[in-house]
Amino acid sequence: MLYLDRPAWPWRGRLWSHLISDVSYAELHAFAEALGAPRRGFDRDHYDIPADRFAAAVWLGAQVVPSRELVRLLRAADLRRPKHLVSQRSPAPR
């Protein structure tokens, strides 16, 4: 399943959402590609999605949840990759 928080994160003059999967990174990458999100939007365990793509992500099937729920879902699926634990030599995401 894919999940998305509401666009509330400001960066470079825009608001952003976070898109995650609780199944696999492969599912997340495939969904992001269908959404038209560039791979550079992937950050360790989520995609940063601009507010103008929020409605399309929901239309494609992403469930809207609070930001804290995203972290809980990632941890429960063992897909959380916190910044302090990720190094340049970390294994490739699954």
CB 46 within 8 A of CB 20: yes
Q: In the chain, where are the structural domains located?
A: 2-85
Cβ atoms 21, 2 nearer than 8 A: yes
CA neighbor of 54 nearest in space, from 2, 90, 89, 13 = 2
Tens-level pLDDT at each residue, the chain (94 residues): 999 999 999 999 999 999 999 999 999 999 999 999 999 999 999 999 999 999 999 999 999 999 999 999 999 999 988 765 655 545 555 5
Question: Which candidate, 12, 5, 19, 81, places its Cα nearest to that of 47?
Answer: 19
Amino acid at 71: V
Cα 51 from Cα 84, distance rounded (Å) = 27
pLDDT score recorded for residue 13: 94
